[in-house]
Amino acid sequence: MTCIRCKDIVARLGGDEFAIILPNIEDYKDAEIVAERVIESLSRPFRFDEETCFLGVSIGISLYPTDTEDYEKLLQFADKAMYSVKKSGKNNYRFYKCLKCKYETDRSQ
């Protein structure tokens, strides 16, 4: 299964963190499709050195320009969303926009 398009960019940020840049997506659903494909692909067991291995995947998503037009903040927002996923388990994704809405709702109550 192909997770990303030819024009998408995958970069290792450090350790076990990667960024996937999806240029020219139409809306959030395009990012959602990629996230679901990545999770499906990476959560399959694989063999390494005669052992069966499993990966847990946590994906945070921020959208340009919806969340911000600043590329550093875009990464920070995706990072916050990713850590929110890690706290609630793995093999999932979350949009920064959803975190922001929850925070604003919690503060108003």
Burial of 95 (0-12, 13-18, 19+ CB in 10 A): buried
Active-site annotation, residues = 16
Radius of gyration of the chain (CA): 15
Stated length of the chain:
109
DSSP strand pairing (17-21 vs 9-14): antiparallel
Termini Cα distance of the chain: 44
Residue 20 CA to residue 12 CA, distance in Å, equals 9
